[in-house]
Structure 1
Amino acid sequence: MESDIRRLESHVREGLVAFIGDSPETVLAIHALQSGLGRVWTSGPSDDLRAVIVESALVPGEPQGFGDPASLLDLLARAEGWRCIELNPDVADDITDDFERRWGIASRVIDVVHISRQCPRVEGHPRVRPLRVPDLSRLSVASDDVFPGRRVVEGAAARGRVFVAIDGDSIVGHGSSFAASGTYADIGVYVAASHRGQGIATSAAALACEAVRADGLTPVWGTGSDNQGSLGVAAKLGFLEVARLVFLVPVGR
């Protein structure tokens, strides 16, 4: 069954959160369920779930699957609009052969999940400062992929979890937390190509880490295993690897 998460009753959402579990690997899925920002597919009755797929509105087309491998494949066959599926490595190994029989050869992209218990002090950057909600009306962005939707950005800015680099009247980078569970907060960064290599990502992400930690949350950093720039920033900020997930990406889909 597919559902817009916003249409689910609260007890159903709570059951899905309990099925998935709150961990560094699940922060985006848990946030989607708790905020209503996303879609979900389920297999089995609510009191006896077999599998769940959650697509966060923050990463459309990149859902995460949980539960019985065979049931996950059946859910994927009914789902629309996905480009890949993120899975626990053991589940990915179990379904790869059947997955490729249905959707063709799949590449495997490794998502390295980190947490930070204590962020080292990072020197501030002169261009980086907190984003206030009124700023969104007067500042432009360097490109369309800087931020997710305005509603999400406004909510995070109101919580003091968005830190931006500004050049003139343009936002050229940020370090922010747009998704959190009851325990963890995802940290994301973006810097325009023209402003990379200046320490913006490290400075902004450090501030975002401090902000979520002040709210009692543990910062989480997820990045591809081949993204050396992101891995380098994570290391500077004291993040330690705690898990790996696998994206199965059908070639040519």
Structure 2
Amino acid sequence: MVLPAYGSIMIELSDKEKIRDWFRPEVPGPLIGPHVMRTGHGRILVDDPAEPGTVLAETGGGNYDLSGDPAGLDCDKLPHGFYRTDEDFAPLLAERSGELHRWPRVVHELTGEPKPVPHVAAGLRLLGPGDTAGLEALSPELRWITETWGGHAAAAASGLAVGAFVHGRLVSVALPFYCGERYEDLGVITEAGHRGRGLSAACAARVVEGVLRRGRRPSWSTSPDNLGSLRVAAKLGFRLVREDHLYVTGFPPPPAS
């Protein structure tokens, strides 16, 4: 995974334990900082390694968490992407990233056991290192599913992703898109020609089982107009816990799929 450079004096933090409390208490939703802390995929930059006042966490796919004092964001420019931050940073994002959009999101949590899902006509299993090629063969618009893991090989090797196979082809994938200390936020994709067959729900249900075995809680983040994603979340028993938003810089928010 290649992460963008900055025209700045923001410094990559090597001793990440120093800022662990910045991401507590952990809540359902995009867990960018906790994901970097737990998995090592991504990086954390600060204004001052000795006494951080501004923290920028980033993973692949242009996902960022920006917190602290806006005055400490000493960057000439910021990369385009998806920012989890508060409104105090919005003027700086507009100034240093260009086009700025506020993207509504809804966050769900599974507080009990998942609802059972019907059997599907596909082979379901955990993915492993040998499935990298299957992930690479997904349609281009679906390959984002592995970005927070640093790419297809790392996602396949994580032992956390579940895939559905039809005639030997990987057509649906679910995994923890973000892994935190308390929550794991799910991501799921299914090839267009195989939607409406319950594959997303079946894969996600298997991932939920793994999240619960690890002693964490599953969460589900999507946009309020993504009816397909909302249907899958409801089918599994997820319930809305809050409305939220991300700031999107440099391009319009992606359409619902």
- Normalized against structure 2, the TM-score is what? 0.79
- The reply on whether 1:85 has 2:83 as its aligned counterpart is yes
Q: Which runs of 5+ in 1 are unaligned?
A: none
Instruction: Within 5 Å, give how 1:138-217 maps onto structure 2.
Output: 139=134, 141-144=137-140, 145-146=142-143, 147-148=145-146, 149-157=151-159, 161-217=160-216
Moved more, 26-35 or 188-197: 26-35
CA distance in 1, matches of 2:47, 2:242: 26
CA distance in 2, matches of 1:26, 1:249: 14
Q: Is the 8 A contact 2:186 2:220 kept in 1?
A: yes
CA distance in 2, matches of 1:239, 1:213: 14
CA distance in 2, matches of 1:221, 1:120: 15
CA distance in 2, matches of 1:246, 1:121: 30
Counterpart amino acid of 1:68?
D
- The reply on whether 1:52 has 2:55 as its aligned counterpart is yes
Q: Is the 8 A contact 1:105 1:250 kept in 2?
A: yes
Instruction: Within 5 Å, give how 1:38-117 maps onto structure 2.
Output: 38-46=42-50, 48-57=51-60, 60-71=61-72, 74-75=73-74, 77-78=75-76, 80-87=78-85, 91-92=86-87, 94-117=88-111
Q: Cα gap change, 1:49/1:170 in structure 2, threshold over 3 Å: closer, same or farther?
A: same
Q: Which runs of 5+ in 2 are unaligned?
A: 1-9, 253-257
Q: Which residue of 2 aligns with 1:233?
A: 232
Q: Is the 8 A contact 2:175 2:186 kept in 1?
A: yes
SS at match of 1:23: coil
Q: Is the 8 A contact 2:110 2:237 kept in 1?
A: yes
Number of matched pairs: 234
Q: Which residue of 1 aligns with 2:17?
A: 14
Q: Is the 8 A contact 1:128 1:204 kept in 2?
A: no
1:139 is displaced (CA, Å) by 4.4
Cα RMSD after superposing both structures: 2.6
SS at match of 2:170: strand
Q: Cα gap change, 1:204/1:210 in structure 2, threshold over 3 Å: closer, same or farther?
A: same
CA distance in 1, matches of 2:174, 2:93: 35
- The reply on whether 1:2 has 2:11 as its aligned counterpart is yes
SS at match of 2:164: strand
Q: Is the 8 A contact 1:63 1:82 kept in 2?
A: no
CA distance in 2, matches of 1:221, 1:16: 25
- Normalized against structure 1, the TM-score is what? 0.80
Question: Residue 31 of structure 1: which of 17, 23, 35 is its match?
Answer: 35
CA distance in 1, matches of 2:28, 2:95: 31
1:219 is displaced (CA, Å) by 0.5
1:79 is displaced (CA, Å) by 5.5
Runs of 4+ that moved beyond 6 A: none
1:130 is displaced (CA, Å) by 1.2
SS at match of 1:24: coil
- The reply on whether 1:248 has 2:247 as its aligned counterpart is yes
1:242 is displaced (CA, Å) by 2.5
Identical aligned residues as a percent: 26
Give the helix-richer structure, 1 or 2: 1
C-alpha offsets along residues 170-222 of structure 1, whole Å, 9 cap, x if unaligned?
Answer: 10111222532221112110001111111111111111111110121101111
C-alpha offsets along residues 55-106 of structure 1, whole Å, 9 cap, x if unaligned?
Answer: 113xx222111222443xx24x34553334222xxx22x3434543454452
